Amino acid sequence: MIRRLLARFPWLPDVVTLVVLVAGSIWRYLHVFRWHDPRKYVYSDMQMYVDLSKRISRPDHVLRISDITHPPGMTELLAWVYQRDPQFGPMLWIQFLVAVLIPPAVGALAWLTFGRSSARWAAVATSLYFPFVDFAGYFLAENYLTLFAVLSLVAYFGALRVSEVMAPGGRRTGLIVAIAVLGGFLFSIAAVMKMVAMPAIGGFIILHFLFTHGPSRKIRALVVAAAVVGSIPLMAWQADRCTKANEGKFCSGSNKAPSDFLLGHYGRIQGITWRDPKKPGHVGFGSPAAYQHGYRDKPEVPFLITDSKKNYEYAWKWIKKNPWQSLVLGFEHVWDAFGGSLTWPAVATSYWPHAQAAHYGFLAFLLFPTFMLLVDVARKRGVVGLIRSMELAVFAPLFGVILSIFVATGETRYRIPWDATFLILGMEFFRRLRIPLREVTEPKPEETAAAPEPKPAAKAAPAKQPEEPAAAEAEAAEAS
């Protein structure tokens, strides 16, 4: 019935996709402007971003070492808006616009990697994905990282697609370089929002460049080189800004990584208080995932959170003394990011049922199907085929994310910006699922017991045999 309907109305899937995108946009508008105005949820990390943005918006402010614990993207954006409207009114439109652009961006990435049908499935799933709506209601960097990381991958694959569809020549080369430079710039925006963009996209590029089927290494090298050029202006600005504020010590974007390393490898603790007895003030940071585990210890260390040397020294001292515990904690951080904890801040608000339901949905309909798809690719094409597959290339950014979480600390908020991977691969699993019910329906026990001797009519079965290879070939063609 569905096939006949689609044959008669081939445009129907596109219309349904568009309707869902519009409905998702309305949902995001209501969430940001009516139900969850981010200006009413300024506390913890959000408070830190807003307070810092107000300080750096003053013309006479000189960046201090305590101002660079996080990448500058979010605070600079907030400062720019604050200078124009102290009530942060324009930020609501920016938050809304970014959230609205994420579904079509994920759809575009799915189109370039697996085709038009995959694009529709991914765009629909992303439109209905609660975490991407929820983070639009906070002054946090997650949705910005999601959008610009996905767009950088869209530009990367778009440049490679141009190399496949256009004839060789100067015009093709120029277009490839232009798209790749744009992709590099988009990547740099993601990196100034969250530093994890660097290992994530870096890991993807290494795997895709070395192993994935596709255009020649020469073309890929051209795309990567052009992307690097496109990322230089913003990345250089970020490093220069951070290094100057870090008392001249090189800093690529923020100086908080050593303290995160200590937080993640100092035992089963909820948080740490950094307090130098010789200086006024103190800073405390904790992990929402550790709190959910029931960890309540909050040790105090006698130095500032910005003292990278001391943070590393204390962390390595504990690791050497407790190597097995440290290893297990690293795996716990990874599990916290994928399934072992619920998403903060939503879990601590009235939206906790939505966040918890979305988390269960992620486990059942995205995480598990994604791994099943990768296993199926390995089963059909072998390990080498998996390594060279587009499926693993789309998954590749998660390797950098996992490594970052393992050596620091973990919670689902660190993974969610990369859930485009699961939305594409998880939906691809369901899109490829073709199991006619008549092939898996087994006879009832009583029918089996009373089954008569085979009749001559059963010999008609061989006539169906030619259909099976044809179906198998069609499935293989679709999978390829």
Residue spans per domain, the chain: 2-256+333-432
> For residue 154, which of 108, 197, 205 has the smallest C-alpha distance?
108
Per-residue model confidence (pLDDT) at position 479: 43
| Category of 294 on φ-ψ map: left (φ > 0), alpha (ψ -120 to 50) or beta | left
Sequence-distant (≥ 6) Cβ neighbours of residue 205 within 8 angstroms: 156, 224
Per-residue model confidence (pLDDT) at position 455: 54
Please answer whether residues 262 and 284 qualify as being in contact, where contact means their C-beta atoms are separated by less than 8 angstroms. Answer: no
Place of tokens 């795996």: 331
Which amino acid is residue 223, in one-letter code?
A: V
Sequence-distant (≥ 6) Cβ neighbours of residue 377 within 8 angstroms: 385, 386, 389, 391, 392, 479
* Predicted confidence pLDDT, tens digits, the chain (480 residues): 677 777 777 888 999 999 999 999 999 999 999 999 999 999 999 999 999 999 999 999 999 999 999 999 999 999 999 999 999 999 999 999 999 999 999 999 999 999 999 999 999 999 999 999 999 999 999 999 999 999 999 999 999 999 999 989 989 999 999 999 999 999 999 999 999 999 999 999 999 999 999 999 999 999 999 999 999 999 999 999 999 999 999 999 999 999 999 999 999 999 999 999 988 888 999 999 999 999 999 999 999 999 999 999 999 999 999 999 999 999 999 999 999 999 999 999 999 999 999 999 999 999 999 999 999 999 999 999 999 999 999 999 999 999 999 999 999 999 999 999 999 999 999 999 865 545 444 455 554 455 455 555 544 444 444 444 444 444 444 444
Calpha distance 17→2 (Å, rounded):
16
Per-residue model confidence (pLDDT) at position 141: 97
Please answer whether residues 273 and 283 qualify as being in contact, where contact means their C-beta atoms are separated by less than 8 angstroms. Answer: yes
Please answer whether residues 146 and 102 qualify as being in contact, where contact means their C-beta atoms are separated by less than 8 angstroms. Answer: yes
